[in-house]
Chain A
Amino acid sequence: MNKILLGLLLGAVLGAMDGATAWFTPAVRAQLAGIIVGSTIKGLIAGIAIGFFARKVHSLLLGIVFGLAVGFVLAFIVAQMQHGYYLEIILPGSIVGMIVGYATQRYGTAPAVPATSRQS
Chain B
Amino acid sequence: MKFLSDKALQRLRESADVPDLVGTRYRLLQQIARGGMGVVYAAEDQTLARRVAIKVLDVLVPDSDLAQRLNREARVLARLEHPGIVPVHDVGTLADGRVFYTMKFVEGRRLDEHLESVPSLPDRLRLFLRICDAVAFAHARGVLHRDLKPANVMIGAFGEVLVMDWGLAKIVHDSSAETPADPDATIFQPTNLLVTEPGTAPTSAVTGHGTVLGTPGYMSPEQARGDISSLDQRSDIFSLGALLRFLLAAPASREPSESTRQKDKALGAVCDKATAIDLRDRYSSVSDLSADVSRYLDGLPVTARRENLLEKASRFYRRHTIPILLIAAYLVMRILLLLFSHR
User: Residues on A close to B: CB < 8 A?
Assistant: 21, 24-25, 60, 64, 87-88, 91-92, 95-96, 98-99, 102-103
Does B323 belong to the interface (CB within 8 Å)? yes
When the two chains form the complex, which single residue of B322, B326, B341 contacts A25, counting CB atoms closer than 8 Å?
A: B341
* Docked complex Cα distance between A91 and B337 (Å): 10
* Docked complex Cα distance between A98 and B326 (Å): 8
Known: A88-B341, A95-B329. A21 touches B334 (CB 8 A): yes
When the two chains form the complex, which single residue of B326, B338, B341 contacts A102, counting CB atoms closer than 8 Å?
A: B326
Task: Please indicate the chain B residues that have their CB under 8 angstroms from the CB of A87 in the complex.
Answer: 337
- Output the nearest chain A residue to B333 by Cβ-Cβ distance: A91
- The smallest C-beta distance from A71 to any residue of chain B, in angstroms, reads 11
* Docked complex Cα distance between A25 and B339 (Å): 10
* Docked complex Cα distance between A103 and B323 (Å): 8
Does B327 belong to the interface (CB within 8 Å)? yes
Whether the pair B323, A99 counts as a contact (CB closer than 8 A) is yes
Does B317 belong to the interface (CB within 8 Å)? no
A interface, over-half SS = helix
- The smallest C-beta distance from A4 to any residue of chain B, in angstroms, reads 20
Task: Please indicate the chain B residues that have their CB under 8 angstroms from the CB of A95 in the complex.
Answer: 326, 329-330, 333
- Output the nearest chain B residue to A67 by Cβ-Cβ distance: B326
- The smallest C-beta distance from B154 to any residue of chain A, in angstroms, reads 30
B residues 317-335 near A (Cβ < 8 Å) are 322-323, 326-327, 329-330, 333-334
* Docked complex Cα distance between A96 and B327 (Å): 9
* Docked complex Cα distance between A88 and B341 (Å): 9
Having A95-B330, A95-B333, one finds 17 other A-B pairs with CB under 8 Å, namely A21-B334, A24-B338, A25-B338, A60-B322, A88-B337, A91-B333, A91-B337, A92-B330, A92-B333, A92-B334, A92-B337, A95-B329, A98-B326, A99-B327, A99-B330, A102-B322, A103-B323
* Docked complex Cα distance between A103 and B327 (Å): 12
* Docked complex Cα distance between A98 and B322 (Å): 10
**Residue of A60, A88, A103 most packed against chain B (CB within 10 A):** A88
Task: Please indicate the chain A residues that have their CB under 8 angstroms from the CB of B330 in the complex.
Answer: 92, 95-96, 99
Task: Please indicate the chain A residues that have their CB under 8 angstroms from the CB of B327 in the complex.
Answer: 99
Task: Please indicate the chain A residues that have their CB under 8 angstroms from the CB of B333 in the complex.
Answer: 91-92, 95
Give 18 pairs: A residue, B residue, CB < 8 Å, sorted on A. A24-B338, A25-B338, A25-B341, A64-B322, A88-B341, A91-B333, A92-B330, A92-B333, A92-B337, A95-B329, A95-B330, A96-B330, A98-B326, A99-B323, A99-B326, A99-B327, A102-B322, A102-B323
* Docked complex Cα distance between A96 and B330 (Å): 8
